[in-house]
């Protein structure tokens, strides 16, 4: 049951990265690719019907983490409490900017909300990338299973790291570049006209950046936490994850004809999924690695809930996921195709 719930949480976090990742990416490139009022409205209509639903996966993953691995939930947020509050405020500000922009005809207020939407999206991608890098690298867990992280120390990994060091900054840059590319490919798939071509042009510039950062990130992860290779050493099938990363990078090559735009977007989805699966395989069966000498790793065995909780939770989780999958299938089917350049409100 512990292994099952580990992968349930991993699947929901991966779904969040892939689904909410493209509308975060749209926000990150919003001011650069959408330059007119018409284009900005078109970009927002491209994510309008789905952006808030995509965030459900983050809430579901957090709730599942709470009852499946309560010790991990308590320990992680003891040290990440301030970043968590910042992420929540950025999610709120991002939602407010999308909603209030459509209720104001004043150009000044629309410009303000446009900037707020872009800034919140960029900061969220940076925060999520740095947070994942902190988990992979490890934190100084104490004997009581709690920890404290300063914003930075000496920018090195080791026994006394900060939230920011060379590895977590690299993780933040990888997340920003990867999700920005993901968003550009989504806009190229869903929009038309100048916005479509500008999104594709931006994707062409971002694609080699993502390749370079990925080539740096994989060896950097091994350097920051050599134990991340342990599972790969004992289970060679795990190397399918880095192969998936390579395949995703190859498939999402921008500049393809219009009929291949969907394949490029699927390549981006494969890239993000493989990166997340690779990170989870590098951690398994550890949930939160410890650095230093005072504490110990939080593992599945040490953080798992009781059997009754897990069995009852599995029943309700299955029912909830069935409803969620039905909802997402209907929404994305109804929202298929490109958005119009001249429509009003959300969607087509």
User: Going by C-beta distance under 8 Å and a sequence separation of 6 or more, which residues neighbour residue 50?
Assistant: 19, 23, 331, 332, 335
Per-residue pLDDT in tens (0 to 9) along the chain, 348 residues: 889 999 999 999 999 999 999 999 999 999 999 989 899 999 999 998 899 889 889 989 988 998 899 999 888 888 888 888 999 999 999 999 998 988 888 889 999 999 999 999 999 999 999 999 999 999 988 888 888 888 888 888 878 888 899 999 999 999 999 999 999 999 999 998 899 999 999 999 999 999 999 999 989 999 999 889 989 999 999 999 999 999 999 998 866 666 678 899 999 999 999 999 999 999 999 999 998 767 788 999 999 999 999 999 999 999 999 999 999 999 999 998 888 766 655 454
Dihedral, CA of residue 66, residue 68, residue 69 and residue 71, to nearest 10: 70
d(CA 287, CA 135): 8
Supply the pLDDT for residue 177.
97
Q: What is the pLDDT of residue 70?
A: 92
**pLDDT given for residue 160 in this prediction:** 82
Q: What is the CA radius of gyration of the chain?
A: 20
All structural domains of the chain with their residue ranges: 2-334
- 57/19 Cα distance (integer angstroms): 9
Q: Are 83 and 127 in contact (CB under 8 A)?
A: yes
Query: Which residues, 6+ apart, have CB-to-CB distance to 162 below 8 Å?
Result: 149, 150, 151, 152, 153, 154, 155
As a dihedral over the C-alpha atoms of residue 93, residue 58, residue 129, residue 35, rounded to 10 degrees, the angle is -40
Q: What CA–CA distance (Å, rounded) separates 185 from 145?
A: 42
| CA diameter of the chain | 61
What per-residue confidence (pLDDT) applies to 121? 96
Q: In the 8-state DSSP scheme, what is residue 143?
A: T
Angstrom distance (rounded) from CA 330 to CA 317:
20
Q: In this predicted structure, what is the pLDDT of residue 261?
A: 84
Gap between the Cα atoms of 183 and 27, Å rounded? 8
Check residue 293 and give its pLDDT: 66
- pLDDT, residue 221, reads 92
């Amino acid at each position: 049951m512990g292994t099952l719930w580990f992968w349930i949480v991993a699947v929901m976090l991966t779904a969040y990265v892939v689904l909410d990742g493209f509308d975060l990416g749209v926000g990150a490139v919003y001011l650069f690719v959408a330059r007119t009022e018409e284009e900005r409205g078109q970009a927002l209509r491209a994510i309008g019907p789905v952006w808030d639903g995509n965030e459900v996966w983050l809430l579901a993953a957090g709730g599942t983490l709470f009852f499946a691995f309560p010790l991990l939930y308590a320990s992680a947020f003891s040290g990440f409490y301030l970043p968590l509050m910042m992420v929540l405020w950025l999610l709120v500000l991002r939602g407010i900017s999308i909603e209030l922009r459509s209720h104001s005809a004043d150009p000044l207020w629309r410009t303000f909300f446009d900037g707020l939407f872009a800034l919140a999206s960029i900061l969220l991608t940076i925060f999520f990338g740095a947070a994942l890098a902190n988990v992979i690298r490890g934190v100084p867990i104490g004997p009581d299973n709690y920890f404290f992280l300063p914003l930075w120390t000496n920018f090195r990994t080791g026994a006394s790291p900060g939230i920011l060091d060379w590895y977590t900054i690299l993780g933040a840059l990888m997340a920003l570049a990867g999700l920005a590319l993901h968003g550009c490919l989504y806009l190229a798939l869903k929009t038309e006209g100048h916005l479509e071509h500008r999104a594709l042009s931006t994707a062409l510039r971002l694609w080699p950046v993502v390749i370079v950062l990925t080539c740096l990130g994989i060896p950097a992860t091994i350097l920051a936490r050599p134990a991340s290779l342990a599972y790969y050493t004992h289970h060679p099938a795990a190397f399918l994850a880095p192969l998936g990363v390579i395949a995703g990078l190859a498939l999402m090559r921008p500049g393809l004809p219009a009929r291949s735009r969907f394949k490029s977007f699927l390549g981006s989805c494969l890239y993000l999924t493989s990166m997340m699966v690779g990170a989870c395989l590098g951690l398994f069966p550890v949930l939160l690695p410890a650095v230093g000498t005072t504490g110990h790793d939080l593992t599945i065995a040490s953080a798992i809930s009781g059997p009754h909780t897990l069995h009852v939770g599995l029943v309700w989780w299955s029912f909830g996921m069935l409803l969620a999958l039905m909802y997402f299938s209907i929404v994305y089917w109804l929202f298929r195709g490109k958005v119009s350049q001249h429509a009003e409100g959300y969607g087509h």
